[in-house]
Amino acid sequence: MQRKINLLLVLFSLIGGAVGFAAGEIMLRQWLGEMPRLLLMGLYFGVLALSVGLFCLLAEMISPKLNGASWKLRYLGLSWKLLVPATLALLFVVGLALQLLYQINPGGVKQVKDIVLMIDNSGSMSETDPDNGRFEAAKTLISQMESDKQVAVITFDDHPELLQPFTPLDSEAAKNEVYSKIDGIVTTSGLTNFDAVLREAMEQIKGKQDPKRGTVAILLSDGFSDADTSGILSEYANEQIAVNTVGLSLVDPSGTDLLRHIAQQTGGMYYDVPDSGGLNLAFQQIYDTIDERTLVTERTGMMEHSTYLAIFRVAALLLIGIALGVSLGLVFDNRHLALSFGFGGAVSGLLAGLLLEWGLDGSTVGDTFVRFGAMLILSGVLTLFSWIIPIKENTPRKTRGRRDAGGGTNSVEGFGQRARDSRSKGF
């Protein structure tokens, strides 16, 4: 048992981590929101492990300092066969399982899957939004929703009008049907009643077929409502349904204060938009804060500041680090190396998890660099632990077969070993 280190393997492991990170970023940009997050995180960490394993294998082929020359002569072929199942397959399963657990909200909080849009259609909108930009912004928002989402659309003045009950957006045909109903809206001349539309939205929420699906609401208006909303807002708060409000071209401070109050009472956010040109951005910001989360992206929504999920993310990366270290040991068929790299993986995973938890803030460039640093830590630190925890070279296995009458062993491996010994002595 010796403490030793292969600096070439450390370097190649970092290169593999960088390659895996690049592949992961491509997957995030292409498939986040399109592919189920379980599969996406499984692929993310599986490809990372495959890249690290491949480059570490190449490093030991060039300079077999950890496993010894006997490994290169006898077991290199086996290492190539073990590469994909020990890295890609193993980390795919681990990443998928941990992402599944990460998506579960603690304390019975429902994961948001449904969005209800409440759009002001009173007479004043003819002046503040003469081109009906609010309806185009609503269509743009719906076009970006994932296939597992449902949407309901309600317009209102003095009275609410249910334009579209909750409907799955699982196809383009379903989205086109909602678009056609929005295109048919005609602006009315009525006043504004927030209480009535909030009650109509709550009726639709309570009438959903699957009550386990969480809901978020978006209320857009340009004015002030005299109706008392205190009763219905307490119901939204009790049901943990956030109402995000958007004030369009508001000039009356009382309207701004009311919309801000509605958002604060329900755990939502208020967005002030000077003209309809800014509605797309406001809607996008609201949608981005829905509590969709992965292990490597910023956590948003009602669980954004959850201590439980913060601890879980760090613990999940620690387990992924252990799995990555063990996978490298499996590739080299060396249990001593698996133990050493496993301990190193725990440390590297812990550091990577802390960096992700403290560093991710939702900015595109900043989060990319945070993930890059985390993946380098995850792939590089564990390779240093062969110098900390002693390992043993991967030497031929010894067996305890039964001795025959001639003093030999009747095991197949013993026979193969005697044949190799005979050849080495020139027989």
Q: Band of the pLDDT at 252, cuts 50, 70, 90? A: confident
Nearest to 334 by CA among 55, 16, 56, 28: 56
Nearest to 233 by CA among 205, 207, 261, 257: 261
pTM: 0.69
Spell out the CATH class of 112-288.
alpha beta
Sort 67 into a burial class: Cβ within 10 Å, 0-12 / 13-18 / 19+. Answer: buried
Task: Please tell me the predicted confidence (pLDDT) of residue 54.
Answer: 97
Task: Please tell me the predicted confidence (pLDDT) of residue 424.
Answer: 45
Nearest to 228 by CA among 190, 269, 261: 261
The strand pairing partners of 147, in sequence order, are: none
How large is the average pLDDT for residues 396-419?
A: 44
Average pLDDT, the chain: 87
What are phi and psi for residue 160, nearest 5 degrees? -80, 150
The mean-pLDDT minimum among 253-257, 322-326, 339-343, 410-414 falls in 410-414
Q: Band of the pLDDT at 402, cuts 50, 70, 90? A: very low
Q: Band of the pLDDT at 414, cuts 50, 70, 90? A: very low
Torsion from C-alpha of 413, 415, 418, 422, nearest 10 degrees: -130
Is the pLDDT at 97 greater than 90? The verdict is yes
- Residue that wins the pLDDT comparison between 422 and 243: 243
Task: Please tell me the predicted confidence (pLDDT) of residue 113.
Answer: 86
Alpha-carbon 19 to chain mean position? 19
pLDDT in tens, 43-65: 999 999 999 999 999 999 999 98
Domain locations along the chain? 7-105+297-386, 112-288
What one-character DSSP code corresponds to residue 215?
E
Task: Please tell me the predicted confidence (pLDDT) of residue 212.
Answer: 79
Nearest to 100 by CA among 23, 173, 36, 12: 36
Q: What percentage of the chain's residues is helix, strand, coil (to nearest 5)?
A: 60, 10, 30
pLDDT in tens, 55-93: 999 999 999 988 888 888 888 999 999 999 999 999 999
Alpha-carbon 152 to chain mean position? 26
What stretches of 225-306 show up as alpha helix (H) in DSSP? 230-238, 253-266, 279-288
pLDDT in tens, 284-338: 888 877 767 899 998 876 677 889 999 999 999 999 999 999 999 999 988 889 9
Task: Please tell me the predicted confidence (pLDDT) of residue 354.
Answer: 97
pLDDT > 90 fraction of the chain, expressed in percent and rounded: 58
In this structure, are residues 413 and 421 in contact, taking their beta carbons and an 8 Å threshold?
A: no
In this structure, are residues 296 and 32 in contact, taking their beta carbons and an 8 Å threshold?
A: no
Alpha-carbon 180 to chain mean position? 33
- Say if strands 214-221 and 243-248 run parallel, antiparallel, or are unpaired: parallel
